[in-house]
Copies of this chain bind each other. A is one copy, B any other.
Amino acid sequence: MNVETKFIELLRDRNLKATPKRLELLTVVAAFNSAIPYSELQKKLKHFDRVTLYRTLHALLDGGIIHKASVSSDEVYYAMCKEYCTSECHNHKHVHFKCVECLEVSCVNTTNTIQIQIPNVQIQQVDVEVSGVCSKCM
């Protein structure tokens, strides 16, 4: 299936109109080899109005089409959701890794199962953010 057709399907599934702006943003996010920083989105989408970028990102986040991958919280990174997510539930089974050298952030599947238990607490979601040095920078 064509990638654009897939995007249109993703959007219509959430009752979001498949507009050129949204398709372009999705194309940029998906084409980036890792999670894309907000500043990079601004650069690549200069012709977007600031508010349009803001609202488009919110719509896609809320629809569970993209997700934030904010490791170390200085800049926000965005990446496509791999599974079917919604605003209430992002079903990510992966962790986020940020290389402290090249600052690249990527979604990584690990074989390790993360088992966390907290007494008297009903755990709904566990987010893991890993930092270190990637293979390219080693």
* Chain A residues with a Cβ under 8 A of chain B: 68, 70-71, 73, 76, 95, 97, 100, 108, 110-112, 114-118, 120-135, 138
Q: Which residues of B contact A95 (CB under 8 A)?
A: 116, 118
Q: Which residues of B contact A70 (CB under 8 A)?
A: 73
The 9 tightest CB contacts between A and B, nearest first, are A120-B135, A124-B132, A123-B132, A127-B129, A122-B133, A125-B131, A122-B132, A126-B130, A70-B73
Distance A81 CA – B96 CA, assembled complex (angstroms): 23
Q: Which residues of B contact A76 (CB under 8 A)?
A: 73
Q: Which residues of B contact A133 (CB under 8 A)?
A: 121-122, 124
| B128 lies within 8 A of A128 (CB) | yes
| B135 lies within 8 A of A116 (CB) | no
Candidates B73, B121, B131; contact of A135 at CB < 8 Å:
B121
Q: Which residues of B contact A123 (CB under 8 A)?
A: 130-132
Q: Which residues of B contact A116 (CB under 8 A)?
A: 95, 110, 112, 114, 128, 130
**Can you name 12 A-B residue pairings with CB atoms under 8 Å?**
A71-B127, A100-B124, A112-B116, A114-B116, A116-B128, A116-B130, A121-B135, A124-B132, A125-B130, A125-B132, A126-B129, A127-B129
| B128 lies within 8 A of A127 (CB) | yes
Q: Which residues of B contact A130 (CB under 8 A)?
A: 116, 118, 121, 123, 125-127
